Structure 1
Amino acid sequence: MLLSALWCLLVLFLQPLISYHLPCCLIVFSLLTPFAGGLAGMGVCRAPKSDITGLYREGNIVIGGVFPVHVYRVYQQLSYRSPPPTELISICLLSFVPLTFQWLQTLLLAVQEISASPYLLPNITLGVHLFDSCASPGRALEGISWLLSGGASTPIPNYHWRSSMSSLVGVVGDSSSASSLAMARLLGLYRYPQISYFSTSSLLSDRTQFPSFFRTVPSDIFQSKGLAQLVSYFGWTWIGMMGEDTDYGQEGIRTTTTEILRSGACVAFTGYILTSRPDRNAPYLSRVIIESNVSVIVVFSSGSNFVPVVEELLKHNVTGKTWVASESWSTSALVSKEKYWRVLKGTIGFALHSGHISGLKQFMNSLDPKKTPDDIFLKEFWEVNFRCKWQIQEVGWTNSTNVCTGQESNGPLFTDGIQRVTYSVYIAVYALAWALHGILMSRQRACLQIHKTHHLKLPLPLQVMDSMRTVHFEAEDGRNVYFDPNGNLPAVYDIVNWQMDPAGNIHHVKVGNYDGSTEDENTFSVNTSSIQWNTEGSQVPLSFCSRSCPIGFRKAAILGKPICCFQCVPCPSGEISNQTDSVDCFRCPWDQWPNNQKDQCILKPVEFLSCDDPVGVTLITSSVISSIIPVALLGLFINFKTTPIVRANNYLLSCVLLVSLSLCFLCSLGFIGYPQPEKCLLRQVAFGMVFALCISCVLAKTITVVIAFKATKPGSKLRKWTGTKVTYLVTGLGVLLQLGICIIWLSTFPSFPENDIQTQPGVIIAHCNEGFPTAFWCMLGYLGLLATISFVLAFLVRRLPDSFNEAKYITFSMLAFLSVWVSFIPAYLSARGKYTDAMEVFAILSSTWALVICIFLPKCFIIIFQPELNNKDSLMGRGKK
């Protein structure tokens, strides 16, 4: 017992050194093996014997092969208190996979063709040593150790139990990235070339860690970019990610997620399948999928690990999801079964570029267990295919069991179809053969140059590895095969869609392709019309967190949610968005405005008091017609200028007043029409001057009336002011002061045309900017001052004799005038656009009409309708008696 304990302590002590000095440590352990064997009888620390079996065929040069002929699906909780059952360690009792058996047979076909070829490796027979990895990384690593040690019961990689095993030059395999990663670390120590036919993990491109690894499939880094491009192509923005918890799944999810996020989409959840016990977390993953609102799920997993999840989804009747498959399960026979069709209907994904192997059909259909009794895999395939048992296998055999005879024939075993992984196996063997051919041919040429006979000398693994880097040959179907500096083939994928025929068979139909080896725009193409989706009418399924924002809206982030979850906010006033899912709205140019849909900018309408506008036409008509009335009255006064009523009202001043009233009506036309610089400059000045003349005349008439009646008193000093000089003086002085205000206004800040885009959104208001608003209000205030003085004076003398009531009429006219313009001020300040000018025109017309009606209408009525009153006696009040 003491020796056993010492041996175990020695193993524990040396274990950390193995990772750094593995070759030397293995030599030490091999020397200590007899000692270990002596302790075997004690039943402690005994190295377990390996029962790895495989297919071995002699040859001048041996190629190793690793294939998952069986799928490891025995899930049992281990207590770690007692040794696990033997079948859980090394025996694959379940799930013989005919497709992977076909891969193995393809390697044998390639070896057979190369050995018979007079051009490739002439006079050399290739041997093989193949074993089953059971899709388990641990078993694959154990098999490699067994392969390197020559098939010993206790694998020791650097010790060859058979001398012929030293002829091993390389290994083809394994299919899964997890197994290949484990194998590559060990094979890389000895520089044995490893060529995988189905391992796609991007980690394997690291030449520092895996210097001897090559593969006849692209790296996942290209697939990740392609899958993200596929997701973006169909407009899916809310994606679920699922993968196995291996380097393949984790790295695939990481790189694909990065590319998806870069394209603007979001990942709703990420779930990992436990490869040690896929059935353990399958209920959890199923619950995550059911509770999420995603419709599209990208899966990086092998078919065998994905099956338990599909079973759980089938149990809960989860349908309507679109599955995006990585190349590892996109064409897997384990998953593409009729029983899973309800769950996986319409699956789309990437698959390895297909190729054709001309002799495969004949080779597979000529298989015969009697001709190759050493092929243990063929015997099991025979049992699975023909549902019989070989009589030598007593396990499970009863009298009712069909006995295999080898003569069974229910049709051909294989029909030609699209080859993907099978084709990768085929060119992997040829790539290794061409590398060997290059080494041997260079040796032969060297021997001929020095006139020596060439004898076969096996190349070293390091030589084969170097030769692999320069391999470049044309395959049977014309495809160029070569490796990039990272040991990868050019990234070319087929895009496949799962479709079911009427007979219930599922086919992986090619609907597009992806070439990730170039940066051209044509690297990605899909024929969407040939895709069958899981939706009715074969409509492209939708997957989003929030519906797309239509044009005229922008996306607004929701606090605490991914960027794909957003709300749609209408564009603010004056801004547009002309594409769906716009992040920002864009402001229109100053002279444009959004249309009703807010998807384009249109020219703003220009608003001004136009001559074509109904309001403008009305005001123009009123102004012109109104201007005729004072002219007509002037004509009437001229005809009756000798009558007492005309002479009593200061005939000359009345004429000037009538002319100014006509001009008041006409000056309103300056406010109608498009604003021009000249019009803006003169319209307010004309208005102010004409009205100043008009009100000054009224004021002069008022003063004349007051002086006239005050001067009638005896000894009045006002007699000398009763002439026309006072009238002209008052009128001239009133106009002159207004002229001064206008000159100051024009010389400082004159009016100018302006386009106003602030007052009324969506409209350009063409108007005249007054330049110096204070001057305008001063001008208007001055008119109010003249009118107020006139009103006050007229009011004081309102009680004159009834027959000469001129002061009373002036009182009413000034009251109306002031009322109009006082009301005008708030209306003018509150009006917008063209209505500002319309308001001023209306005030001009109204106030002018007030003067015409109140001052001249009574006189005209007497002249026309009561001429008998138009005499001196009546005017002096004597006509009433």
Structure 2
Amino acid sequence: MSRVSLLLTGWLVVMVSRDVGLRVGLEGVQTSMCSRWGSPLDKSSQGLFKDGDVVIGGLFNIHYIPSVIDLGFLQPPLLIPCTGLEIESLQYVYAMEFAVEEINRNPSILPGVRLSYRILDCCGRHPWAMKEALSLVGGDSQSWGLSVPVIIGGASSTTAMILSRTLASLSVPVISYLASCPCLSDRHRFPNFFRTIPSDVYQAKIMARLAILFNWTWIGAVIANNDYGRLAIQAFQEEIEGSGVCLAFSEPLNRETIEEDAKRAATTIQHSTARVILLFCWYTDVRVLFLQLANRNVTDRQFLASEALSTSRDLFQDVAILNVASGVLGVAIRSAEIPGFKRFLHSLKPSNRPDDLFLREFWEKEFGCSLSTTPSNPQSMSDGSTTNISTASHASRSPLAATLSLCTGRETLEGVQNSFTDTTSLRAEYNAYLAVYAAAHALHSLLSCPDKESSPGDNSTTCSSPYNIIQKELLEHLNKVNFTTPNGEEFFFQGADIPAAYDLVNWKTTPDGSLKLVLIGRVDGLELHLNKTSIEWTTGSSQVPISICSERCPPGTRRANRKGEPVCCFDCIPCADGEVSNETGSHQCRQCPIEFWPNPAHTVCIPRKVDFLSFNETMGIVLTTGAVSGVVVTTAVFVIFLCYHNTPVVRANNSELSFLLLLSLKLCFLCALVFIGRPSVWSCRLQQAAFGISFVLCVSCLQVKTIVVLAAFRSARPGGGGLMKWFGPGQQRGSVCLFTSIQVIICIIWLSLSPPTPHHDLGFQGSKVNLQCAMSSVVGFAVVLGYIGFLACLCLLLAFLARKLPDNFNEAKFITFSMLIFCAVWVAFIPAYISSPGKYSVAVEIFAILASSYGLLLCIFAPKCFIILLRPERNTKKHLMGR
């Protein structure tokens, strides 16, 4: 709207509000307006009139006029005459006229009152709309002094705002059939406004629900840079909040700079990864955008269109944009039938309506002929009623009329197929039709009231005169309107609005390559009734297009938002250990119960497998082989010693203790096998007891052997002859039994009070549950190890003291070295055992048993077997006594 228009609006409101009487003031306003905006004889003053008791005003954009060139405040704006007849708007006019005639024939609505109309052309300009509205309300000479109590008009939201604000102080109701801006629902700002088209809030919510329904999470938008576009996209964003749908971009289009804006928007669409584009703008602007996309060969975008363009024949019948526009999915104004309206349109003829300049212009354009330019008698009668029109008959004719042949008068609209005669999908026409009925029922409620003395069904008594209607009272009745339409639908206002009702349409390709509009669903309230299988998408197939920023995360992964990007753009991260995700697009993984573990794909929790050190696995086989080999080697040494038990090497080193030591080593190797296999109650008790007793027996033998060596060499010194009697064979066996008995007692107490038991270790994070022997009493196990360690350290100390005795008779140095290995192994065992998880702790213990056993076996018996088998010359008493 130009600055001059804004100033004029304010000036008009001031002028109107100052005059309490209204009639005189309005005449002055109209005269002033006509002097400013042109003669009333131009096309902006053309109208269609019908006399009667109550006049309903109608404002329609029957002709199109280019934008006013605003030259500032120093001179009046440059006016350009109306050009081009709007066929669709002409159909709205006749829908209003048909509704008035239908109401006049209905005895149950306004009985005894003749409804009439005065329909004026606004040319799509706000100043003309204000001028014509004030002329209707003021009751100028052309309306025989009758003021209009209600106006049906406001083909755009901006025009409706201006009309409502201008006429609000007069309490004149304005009923719009096309103004859908959500802002008009504000009853504080627009208390006198009503509409028979749903608010754009509803269609924005419906489009958001369609996006959610088809899983379109990454959507672009092209909007009109006005309240229509901005408020619609705002409502869309509010509806998609929290649903996972994001807006990739929003490109505004300005009517004044449409070429540049369309190029910019087309470039954005071309380079965006969004495959679904919302369109909240007028169809003329969208055509420019589609042409730009066609030039760039961008034909793979799915458009979701608002009602402003979804039913535009100018778009889906345009061959230049055919490839871009195919498959458009749109929200459209609810279509309906008007019984008898098609017959009414076909009956229209200029010969029957000589003063109808709109029909005259359409007739000449449709049939390519010229009607007689002789003015008709303004007072001619038709259907028993008087129809008047302004005297601008010559101005209404096409400049080419003079070059056309005269019409024959036999032309008829029967069989004519065009947008004017097409009544299969009446949308805005039906809204205009409903607006007339709403006004008529409000007038009926205002003018009729039951007589107290008459029957309840007699409403013949009028409470108000049709010639003196108070607009404020009519406004109150209009707020309470509730009636059933001729189609059987219930109609009522919710404030300024009506309940949401839309059609869902699809632009489908016909066999001849053109596009046609197909109804694929309906919307009642916010409930979708959609036939998905009948939709033809932009790809030409029934496959729903995909429009996402990031692929949905498969099961087993979760979404991780990218920093600084919308929530629809994310990365898919595999679930961590112990977590699963069995849904596509999951935002987080869930922890498995402790008895379960994820499958390899992290999609489901499965029971953990019981895990223990078995004989079948590689580690169990290796350890078993090591233990069996130790038993075999120990047995072989035992056989060698048994065969050579009379030789000096065997006899010199206390053959009885050597055989006992070999037996204990064999037990050590065998006890390692008890640790392998599925733990049971008895195996858990046996393995620790066998381990503790076997090693104490082994170390006790070494301890006694070391003491015997020390005692033997001490007794060889002067005064030490009696020392060996305390360490004879009986004392040696007794000492071994004593040391071993202490360990046996410890094990008995431990196993009696708190023995090891089989236990499922659920704390270990893994796909398997570790079945192991749990130490119910760590103290008992520590005492067993501690006692073994004490004997080993004591043995090491004694062997160290005897290391310098004569070589040929000294076994102490081999015992020293073997005990060093023994102690090193078990010192390293403690941290390794504690830090090893599950069955690996058992393997560490078995390894320590085998390593220490092999160490003792090799260090003590390998040198002796070497002499016995390979150096028999050294296996003599002379050699042993040589030093």
Tell me the TM-score normalised to structure 2 length: 0.81
* 1:788 to 2:796 alignment: yes
Do the aligned partners of 1:71 and 1:304 also contact (CA within 8 Å) in 2? no
The match for 1:476 is 486
Deviates more, 1:422-431 or 1:387-396: 387-396
What is the CA-CA distance between 1:697 and the residue it aligns to? 1.3
Q: Which residue of 2 aligns with 1:8?
A: none
In structure 1, the partner of 2:518 is 509
Given the alignment of the two structures, is residue 264 of structure 1 paired with residue 244 of structure 2, yes or no? yes
Find the counterpart in structure 2 of residue 541 from structure 1. Answer: 545
In the alignment, the residues of structure 2 paired with residue 445 and residue 504 of structure 1 have an alpha-carbon distance, to the nearest angstrom, of 68
Classify 1:454/1:676 alpha carbon distance in 2 versus 1 (closer, same or farther; 3 Å).
Answer: same
The partner residue of 2:848 within 802, 820, 843 is 843
Q: What aligned pairs does 1:196-235 form with structure 2 within 5 A after superposition?
A: 196-235=176-215
- The aligned residue for residue 24 of structure 1 is 18
Equivalenced residue count is: 839
Aligned to 1:491: 500
Deviations 1:552-571 (A, max 9, x none): 44333334333333344444
Choose 787-796 or 503-512, whichever is displaced more. Answer: 787-796
CA distance in structure 2 between the partners assigned to 1:260 and 1:148 by the alignment: 44
Structure 1 residues 398, 603: CA separation in 2 closer, same or farther (over 3 Å shift)?
Answer: same
Find the counterpart in structure 2 of residue 55 from structure 1: 48
User: How far does residue 512 in structure 1 lie from its aligned partner after superposition?
Assistant: 2.4
Does residue 407 of structure 1 match 2:404?
no
Q: Structure 1 vs Structure 2: percent identity of aligned residues? A: 36
Indicate if the aligned counterparts of 1:75 and 1:277 stay in contact, CA closer than 8 A: no
Deviation at 1:93, TM superposition (A): 0.6
**Inter-partner Cα distance in structure 2 for 1:842 and 1:228:** 68
2:338 match: 357
Which of the residues 474, 484, 504 maps onto 1:464?
Answer: 474
Cα distance in 2 for partners of 1:150, 1:295 equals 55
1:341 equivalent in structure 2: 322
Matched residue, 1:319: 299
Structure number with higher relative contact order (C-alpha < 8 Å, ≥ 6 residues apart):
2
Q: Which residue of 2 aligns with 1:427?
A: 434
Tell me if structure 1 keeps the 8 A contact 2:508–2:536. Answer: yes
1:111-167 deviation per Cα after TM superposition (whole angstroms, max 9, x unaligned): 222212233333433211112233333332222112112345xxxxxxxx755523x
* Secondary structure in 2 matching 1:358: coil
What is the deviation of 1:504?
A: 4.6
Find out whether 1:718 has 2:723 as its counterpart.
Answer: yes
Q: Is the 8 A contact 1:623 1:669 kept in 2?
A: yes
Instruction: Give distance in 2, aligned partners of 1:451 and 1:639.
Output: 139
- 2: CA distance, partners of 1:361 / 1:540: 38
Judge conservation of contact 2:346–2:412 (CA < 8 Å) in 1: no
Q: Is the 8 A contact 1:499 1:509 kept in 2?
A: yes
Return closer, same or farther for 1:596/1:415 CA change in 2, 3 Å cut-off.
Answer: same
- Which of 124, 128, 131 is 1:139 aligned to? 128
Contact 1:302 1:328 in 2 (8 A): yes
CA contact (8 A) 1:352 1:492 kept: yes
**Aligned residue in 1 for 2:78:** 85
Deviation at 1:371, TM superposition (A): 0.5
- Match for 1:372: what amino acid? R
* SS, match of residue 800 in structure 1: helix
* Conservation of the 8 A alpha-carbon contact between 2:175 and 2:195: yes
Distance 1:77 1:445 in 2: 61
Deviation track 1:503-531 (CA, whole Å, cap 9, x = no partner) reads 354322222232336xxxxx224322211
Q: Match of 1:103? A: 92
Please list every run of 5 or more consecutive structure 2 residues that lacks an aligned counterpart in the other structure. 1-5, 374-393
Separation in 1 of the partners of 2:154 and 2:218? 34
Counterpart selection for 1:689 from 669, 682, 693: 693
Give the partner amino acid of 2:136. L
For residues 192 and 495 of structure 1, do their structure 2 counterparts lie closer, same or farther at Cα, with a shift above 3 Å needed? Answer: same
The DSSP-based 3-state class of the residue aligned with 1:239 is strand
2:807 alignment partner, one of 799, 802, 814: 799
Asked if the contact 2:699/2:792 (under 8 Å) is kept, the reply is no
User: Does structure 2 conserve the Cα–Cα contact (< 8 Å) formed by 1:641 and 1:647?
Assistant: yes
Q: Distance in 1 between matches of 2:422 and 2:649?
A: 128
Q: Contact 1:795–1:807 (CA<8 Å) still a contact in 2?
A: yes
Deviation per residue, 1:694-745 (Å, 9 max, x gap): 1111221232244345535665242432423542464356446767987999
| Separation (CA, whole Å) in 1 of partners of 2:762 and 2:487 | 71
Moved more, 133-142 or 807-816: 807-816
Call closer, same or farther: CA 1:601–1:741 in 2, change over 3 Å: same
1:3 match? none
Residue 489 of structure 1 aligns to a residue whose secondary structure is coil
* Counterparts of 2:735 and 2:23, CA distance in 1: 134
Code of the residue aligned with 2:351 in structure 1: it is K
User: Contact 2:59–2:121 at 8 Å: present in 1 too?
Assistant: yes
Counterpart CA distance in 2 for 1:35 and 1:257 is: 44
Distance 1:406 1:777 in 2: 124
Distance change (3 Å), C-alpha of 1:862 and 1:295: closer
Alignment partner of 1:239 is 2:233: no
What is the CA–CA distance in structure 2 between the aligned matches of 1:615 and 1:577, rounded to whole Å?
A: 34
Equivalent position amino acid for 1:507 in 2: K
In the alignment, the residues of structure 2 paired with residue 14 and residue 25 of structure 1 have an alpha-carbon distance, to the nearest angstrom, of 17
**2:176 is the alignment partner of 1:193:** no
Aligned to 2:385: none
Query: C-alpha distance in 2, partners of 1:460/1:878?
Result: 144
- How far does residue 56 in structure 1 lie from its aligned partner after superposition? 0.6
Pick closer, same or farther for the CA change 1:602–1:453 going to 2, 3 Å.
closer
State the one-letter code of the partner of 1:407.
R
Does the Cα contact within 8 Å between 1:497 and 1:532 map onto a contact in 2?
yes
Partner residue of 2:58 out of 53, 65, 71: 65
Q: CA–CA distance in 2 between the matches of 1:28 and 1:190?
A: 9
Decide whether the 8 Å contact of 2:449 with 2:460 is kept in 1: no
Amino acid at match of 1:781: G
Separation in 2 of the partners of 1:488 and 1:32?
30
2 CA distance for matches of 1:381 and 1:13? Answer: 36
Give, in whole Å, the separation in 1 of the partners of 2:850 and 2:242: 70
Q: 584, 589, 609: which is aligned to 2:588? A: 584
Contact 2:23–2:139, Cα closer than 8 Å, also in 1: no
Q: 2:732 aligns with which of 727, 733, 736?
A: 727
* Structure 1 residues 457 and 503: CA distance shift in structure 2, 3 A: farther
Partner Cα distance (2:30, 2:586) in 1: 73
Flag structure 1 segments of 5+ consecutive residues without an equivalent: 1-11, 153-160, 518-522
SS in 2 for 1:597: coil
SS at match of 1:165: coil
Question: 1:834 maps to what in 2?
Answer: 839
Q: Which amino acid aligns with 2:83?
A: L
Q: How far apart are the structure 2 equivalents of 1:352 and 1:676?
A: 79
Which amino acid in the other structure matches residue 721 of structure 1?
W
1:130 corresponding residue in structure 2:
119
Distance 1:450 1:471 in 2: 19
- Which residue type is aligned with residue 374 of structure 1? D
**Pairwise CA distance, 1:415:** 4.2
RMSD across aligned C-alpha pairs, in angstroms?
4.6
1:9 maps to what in 2? none
* Inter-CA distance 578–15: structure 2 relative to 1 (3 Å threshold): closer
For the residues of structure 1 that align with 2:146 and 2:271, how far apart are their CA atoms?
56
SS at match of 1:661: helix
Q: Which moved more, 1:44-53 or 1:652-661?
A: 44-53
